[in-house]
Amino acid sequence: MAITTLSSRELNQDVSRAKKASKNGPVFITDRGKPAHVLLSFEEYQRLTRQRRNIADALAAPGVEDIAFDPQRSDISIRPADFS
């Protein structure tokens, strides 16, 4: 994986160069010499975000209704607090 660094000015002058470079790895975009943004290919973005789905996203995903899920009902009883 190659890491490319471009200034904001270089990015504005040659966007296609940044797009091509993002196919080989992340492109760091700097503002006044400091990293400010990262350009990734869409495939790399998907790979990075795929692992961090939350339960709401997973339940809203298409096809979830086809999954058999019938958990046992739990019986939770309330006990008085013991302050002794």
13 within some domain: yes
Locus of tokens 């160069």: 17
Q: What is the pLDDT of residue 53?
A: 65
25 within some domain: yes
17 within some domain: yes
47 within some domain: yes
* Domain CATH number, residue 25: 3.40.1620.10
Read off the pLDDT band of 37 (50, 70, 90).
very high
What is the spatial distance between Cα 11 and Cα 78, in angstroms, rounded to a whole number? 62
Q: pTM for the complete prediction?
A: 0.58
Q: Which residue, 30, 8, 11, is CA-closest to 20?
A: 11
Task: Give the structural domain span for 24.
Answer: 4-52
81 within some domain: no
18 within some domain: yes
Give the other-Cβ count within 10 Å of 76's Cβ: 5
41 within some domain: yes
What's the average model confidence in pLDDT over 51-73?
74
Highest mean pLDDT, choosing among 4-8, 50-54, 79-83:
4-8
- Total domains in the fold of the chain: 1
CA distances from 24 to 17, 20, 67, 72 (A): 12, 8, 37, 48
What is the spatial distance between Cα 83 and Cα 21, in angstroms, rounded to a whole number? 65
pLDDT exceeds cutoff 90 at 39 = yes
Digit-coded pLDDT (tens) for 10-24: 999 999 999 999 999
